[in-house]
Structure 1
């Protein structure tokens, strides 16, 4: 019965209506050094569209895309959602549109398949190659101005739950490519919470073979079992397993949203549909969940600005001082250089004797 629940939840989620991105009212972007509020929508109106793999030659994953409509050059964030790209990206529309509104192109690939996280790597690599060749054309078809430029040389990788497993496996095997920053949201290793399939991207006690600035978000209720008796993010397969595998030469931040659970930043319909599949905090209400979605979007936004804007202390303070956060949280960070972080990535093949090991 437990295995059936795990198998059919993505299919149930896919039956929900697609949540179309809102077009936010234009706002004046605050001076980066004064009054920046990451939890409010950014200054950009958005265009949201989908690319269906069924009707697109050379694409075997469907895409949800959020693009700022204002002319300019924007970094590209690939978001790999829960169930290793097996959940409709519309489940994360509020968080992803929030990030895009602050000046990023967001692409979320997904496909209804029960392949394990690492067996989805070939599809993801194909999708990324297709995007580099065809995404701009699709943007223009959907009304995006030609003056909106995607910076394919600056990629941010973000993954939730098993999506983080796929992302880490990609970086381990394929190298940095154009990826220059990493976001791990409640990351979970393995192919299933019971450990039946021995497929892991992290080996406890060993460091990863790449280093890039990393933001890690955990939820306090991640390891709490759901109605199936299983935790969606068991202690031995999640959060700390990833944090301790990050290389010591990488700038990194880890925030724990102590009152929240594994699926709490999904959009309302999807969060309600998931129910208690994952453990939950019964004291959290709808307004709390709304605040949390804004918090997650704002946290990713702040991380990006800390890497790209002058006056990085303005933004790193918001990642490190929990009194500035909109929820109860704890924070820790490692700055190996004592200087501002910057977009970067280093990698060595797994077979190489790495000096940091």
Structure 2
């Protein structure tokens, strides 16, 4: 019999990890046919079958392959995870990133993904889930809230330690947080995963990577139901990345220095494996409930938080019809 803790271990599927190059537009081959609008890293089960699709958006100035172990963990439980490289360098404005995420999603709808998958593996594109880490979590919310249009309906939204700027009043455009309870009414259930050390500075001259007031707690406070909030008490903002943030062999290229910076810039809880297992497992449990209609894993975490491989300082669930500080949310 399945237990809640099963999602924190690798699933029954072997997985593949493939790079898909960005399309080069030409008169004869438009980007939607030739390839994706952004380079992709695709983690997929190796076993034949049809699997739901999750789009995962990387954090600020990070590379998509910094998350290869996390993506493969999710894929091993029966999901195809598509991680675009939204940019190499970027300024504070995330508008272009939201548009790029929408363009990738629309490319999926056009059927471009199938050629990048193992034999007899098919994507189920009736709905798609969107997820993201850090600034990528903000971008995921921006896409879900309609800052850019996309043709596929949204099944679930998962934000991993999302960040909306430097501080309240210093949000990066477009601002997502409104500082009103239950104001973020995305058209899908939302999960917000937080870190206990993300709001802690690395040192006197290094600000926190997920500053108080623009981080996970405020995102969850503003999420309309249904929503949930899980916080890993003793881990930091980048602790769900790969042990060596370089991805699989051959993926590192010029990302070595940036990979090292993921440990140097943000406060860390030490070994990354427990945090990575927690984040991947929480994502799987949430997707199993809201994409596949199998709630037992998420319900198990709710009832027995101690099954997680990390200590959780917050386990909050907001169900439709519950009351928050006097505000009744619609059922």
- Which TM bucket (shorter chain)? 0.7 to 0.9
Could you tell me whether the CA contact under 8 Å between 2:8 and 2:308 is conserved in 1?
A: no
Q: CA deviation at 1:36?
A: 5.8
Relative to 1, partners in 2 of residues 1:198 and 1:127: Cα closer, same or farther, differing over 3 Å?
Answer: closer
Say yes or no: does 1:119 pair with 2:96.
Answer: yes
> In structure 2, how many angstroms separate the alpha carbons of the residues matched to 1:252 and 1:233?
20
SS at match of 1:38: helix
2:51 alignment partner in structure 1:
74
Which range is displaced more, 62-71 or 220-229?
A: 220-229
1:274 to 262, 278, 281: 262
* Deviation of 1:316 (Å): 1.1
The residue that corresponds to 2:139 in the other structure is 166
Determine helix, strand or coil for the equivalent of 1:240: helix
Query: Is residue 199 of structure 2 the alignment partner of residue 226 of structure 1?
Result: no
Residue 129 of structure 2 is aligned to residue 156 of structure 1: yes
Would you say 1:202 and 2:161 are equivalent positions?
Answer: no
- Summarize deviations over 1:26-85 as a string: whole Å, max 9, x none: xxxxx44x57611211111112111122657624411000111212111100001101xx
Counterpart Cα distance in 1 of 2:49 and 2:190? 25
- In the alignment, which residue of structure 2 is the partner of 1:105? 80
Give the CA RMSD over aligned residues: 2.7
Report the alpha carbon displacement of residue 260 of structure 1 after superposing the two structures with TM: 0.4
CA distance in 2: counterparts of 1:295 and 1:39, whole angstroms: 6
TM-score w.r.t. the length of structure 2 is 0.80
Give the match for residue 341 of structure 1.
none
Q: Deviations over 1:288-320 (max 9, x none)?
A: x21221111111111122335566245312244
The answer to whether the 8 Å contact 2:57/2:84 transfers is: yes
Contact 2:95 2:173 in 1 (8 A): no
Structure 1 Cα separation of the partners of residues 192 and 171 of structure 2: 26
> What is aligned with 1:336?
320
Distance 1:51 1:155 in 2: 19
1:213 corresponds to 2:197 = no
Q: 1:245 to 1:211 in 2, by over 3 A?
A: farther
8 Å contact 1:189–1:201 — kept in the other structure?
yes
Unaligned runs of 5+ in 1: 1-30, 339-354
Structure 1 residue runs of 4 or more that deviate by more than 6 Å after TM superposition: 191-194
Structure 2 residue aligned with 1:51, among 6, 20, 23?
20
Deviates more, 1:181-190 or 1:205-214: 205-214
Cα displacement (A) at 1:211: 4.0
Gaps of 5+ in 2: 246-258, 323-328
Partner of residue 231 from structure 2, selected from 244, 256, 269 = 256
CA contact (8 A) 1:211 1:246 kept: no
Paired residue total: 296
8 Å contact from structure 1 (residues 220, 260) kept in 2: yes
Distance 1:300-1:263 versus aligned 2 partners, 3 A rule:
same
Could you say what secondary structure the match of 1:82 adopts?
Answer: coil
